[in-house]
Structure 1
């Protein structure tokens, strides 16, 4: 009997340990709550606000290889938007891009001289297959020479507020690879340089300013001069079994890159519902690894963060919902948020966000009053989103450090008529006079 009891006890303990082990072991496919990325530097960003969701060595300057072309893409789209060129504008291939196109070490697609190419054809070559010669041809079309185009690239980078950058050519090749064709005004052995943060900020502007770029970056196949163009982004929805392990729902861009100096890098973007993220990985170990590491970043962003409306339009802080008004038919006016504030929030942290009012001091008198008349919807100040969690919230440079919306008057306050203003002034006069007399009399007996 004792042996039987002992066996039952042992069996019971084994069962308990097995259940405990199963409970602590995450099931296959469980969303990761922490992240390790095999890349020299990396960053994950909310594409709507520029909020940084993850970063690793994000300020380290590295060669971006063909991710450089994102700036060329931006300037081409800007030129189209400004009416300087159109998608149907044509140009021919000069000797410089022709020599690049004919060189198999640059994976050229073999452009033809004395033939007209449209901007759309060249842009597809640049965007879909990351062709260098079509990129140079577009740079020459817009600026007259690649050297002048490089000046435009650096000027635009400064305008965008990229924190770390150096552009020396339009393609992402090393100047040493270009030989005597390296752009005038740059060093013959110079390389383009970007940090992951700068690459993400460039992608942020590219996607938000010119969303048409995604139509090109998501195109899987096209052709030029009868030759196939096949997208280098393995995360797109390919049916080829060799690529399916890299695919990820919602991916529609953005730019691959590789040189010996840069290693394998990739700026990616994906949208799921109302959420879009931007990712950058730099200096990964292989062509496939850059996509697998990007997949980690995207999975982390979509599983650990949600797009949440934290405060609706019309929201008011309970104890700060009204401001005093002078010279008006009403003595105060309610203020409210002009629109909602929506943010990418880590799951479970919704309650850590609050609103803080910042009034426009130029609209207030010395007593902190607004002066009538006031129209409904007049901007009174701003409502700033604050966060009380342990981790510091960071945003891409140039996007701002806080989300905010306008704070507006929720009603109209008309200016009081002259009679009411006069009676008010008389009341104020006698009130002040009484206070002065009372103070004088009190002084006599003190």
Structure 2
């Protein structure tokens, strides 16, 4: 987003004034999550609501499967593959599917998986072999698919990722074929912030993913087995599970020895969806309990406040008019102006700035103009907030257009001449 120079300087000064390490900022210093990293963001606005070491790349384990899922949805959307396409599963992947130490659905020769069923197995049961099979179906090899994953992350502006598999398994579990240039013990790494960006894009572009991730269980392979195979979701916060929490409908768990227990969750309450990321839960603590604590903290302490309603006067109530019958014109907000605030720590400030293309060099509106004509922007910010936004592009939601309240008419040519003479 293109922000004004003044606004950009203001944000920089605010950050310097607080002079706190960005990766450890939280709205309430007394609240912590028992994990190596924790992060929370408002899905719609990208406002960061909690950041505990959220910028350090850590193991993401099977949370990786969300990147793979995005590419699967994208390929179907482009018509390159179809949901009912059957996928070939190699003997190597079939053998891997029966490894009791890995998360999988055992695959038999008689099992015929469609793209849709494989994706369900990947997202619900975290089936590693089916995820790799999807990668091979799309790109020919998993190595080529990892390249595709990197390309997708680049589009999203994510640069801190280190990937070796489509599923989240480490190289130690992949046998002799590993991603070029990677080490034998390498695993997928990414920051909690970047993981939240993945979740935000997945839900935005393919919201139907929530129809899958919200399922406590489902039955697949109805066409190639007698009764099908029932699979259960690894997300313990869904309805009917021990850690159930109202509004939770995704997204993905992850576990490896390096990454520890991880979980990227999402929930909707009071009309607002949030995305949370908990990585490397500390020993003796549960990732779902810690996610529940984080979600409760966000919903209890943060609110999306409408600071000014649509039609309210701008911070500067009028603007000067050039060659108008009136010297000034009333200006109002074109829509509601709102911002996320923490009840413990807020100091709301507003400022108005004209839009250069719509006004003269002397900051006047040249008559005639109809009501609703955009003359500038109204910004809102919380001087106490040091958490910022998921991306700089998200900041645009803290600004609205300011428009003319009424039509402004041009003065007649004789009055224009008189004003010109008197100014000389």
Same fold (TM over 0.5): yes
Relative distance call for 1:380 and 1:146 in structure 2 (3 A) is farther
- Once residues 387 and 352 of structure 2 are traced to their aligned partners in structure 1, the CA distance between those partners, rounded to angstroms, is 19
Q: Tell whether the 8 Å contact from 2:337 to 2:400 is kept in structure 1 after alignment.
A: no
Alignment equivalent of 1:134, drawn from 127, 130, 135: 130
Cα deviations by residue, 1:375-398 (Å, 9 ceiling, x for unpaired): 433333322211133x42422135
Structure 2 CA distance for partners of 1:396 and 1:327, relative to 1, 3 Å:
same
2:361 equivalent to 1:357: no
1:36 aligns with 2:37: no
Instruction: Tell which structure's C-alpha radius of gyration is larger.
Output: 1
Q: Which residue of 1 aligns with 2:151?
A: 155
- After the TM superposition, which residues 252-291 of structure 1 pair with which residues of structure 2 at under 5 Å, given as runs? 252-285=249-282, 289-291=286-288
Of 314, 317, 323, which aligns to 1:317?
314
Alpha-carbon contact 2:236-2:288 (below 8 Å) kept: yes
Aligned match for 1:179, one of 175, 184, 196: 175
TM-score, normalised on structure 1? 0.79
Distance 1:415 1:142, change over 3 A: farther
Match of 1:383 among 378, 385, 390: 378
Unaligned regions of 5+ residues in structure 2, if any? 1-27, 222-227
For 2:235, the equivalent position in structure 1 comes to: 233
* Structure 2 match to 1:13: none
2-side partners of 1:379 and 1:179: how far apart?
A: 62
Whether contact under 8 Å (1:47, 1:276) holds in the other structure is yes
* Contact 2:105/2:125 (<8 A) preserved: no
2:421 equivalent to 1:430:
yes
Give 1:261 shift. 1.0
Name the residue aligned to 1:74: 70
Equivalent residue of 1:283, what SS?
A: strand
Distance in 2 (CA, whole Å) between partners of 1:143 and 1:333 is: 60
The alignment's TM-score, normalised by the length of structure 2, stands at 0.83
CA distance in 1, matches of 2:422, 2:360: 20
C-alpha displacement at 1:364, in angstroms?
Answer: 2.4
1:370 corresponds to which of 361, 365, 374: 365
Say if 2:213 and 2:251, in contact at 8 Å, map to a contact too: yes
Match 1:91 to one of 66, 87, 90: 87
The alpha carbon displacement at 1:207 in A equals: 2.3
| CA distance in 2: counterparts of 1:89 and 1:370, whole angstroms | 60
Per-residue deviation, 1:361: 1.7
Q: Structure 1 residue 197: deviation in Å?
A: 1.5
1:293 aligned partner: 290
**Correspondence list, 1:415-426, <5 A:** 416=410, 420=412, 422-426=413-417
For the 8 Å contact 2:332–2:403, the answer to whether it is kept is yes
Q: Is the Cα–Cα contact under 8 Å of residues 374 and 404 in structure 2 kept in the other structure? A: no
Q: In structure 2, what is the equivalent of residue 339 of structure 1?
A: 335
- CA distance in 2: counterparts of 1:129 and 1:52, whole angstroms: 30
Tell me which moved more, 143-152 or 81-90.
81-90
Paired with 1:382 and 1:86, the residues of 2 have a C-alpha distance of 45
Inter-partner Cα distance in structure 2 for 1:423 and 1:202: 62
Contact 2:336 2:400 in 1 (8 A): no
1:101 positional shift: 2.4
Q: Does the 8 Å contact 2:306/2:339 carry over to 1?
A: yes
SS at match of 2:276: strand
8 Å CA contact 2:41–2:50 kept in 1: the answer is: yes
Shift of 1:132: 1.0
Q: Aligned-pair RMSD on alpha carbons?
A: 2.8
Determine the C-alpha separation between the residues in 2 that align with 1:329 and 1:219: 64
Q: In the aligned structure 2, how far is the partner of 1:343 from the partner of 1:205?
A: 21
How many residues are matched? 391
C-alpha distance in structure 1 between counterparts of 2:382 and 2:45, whole Å = 15
1:26 counterpart residue number: none
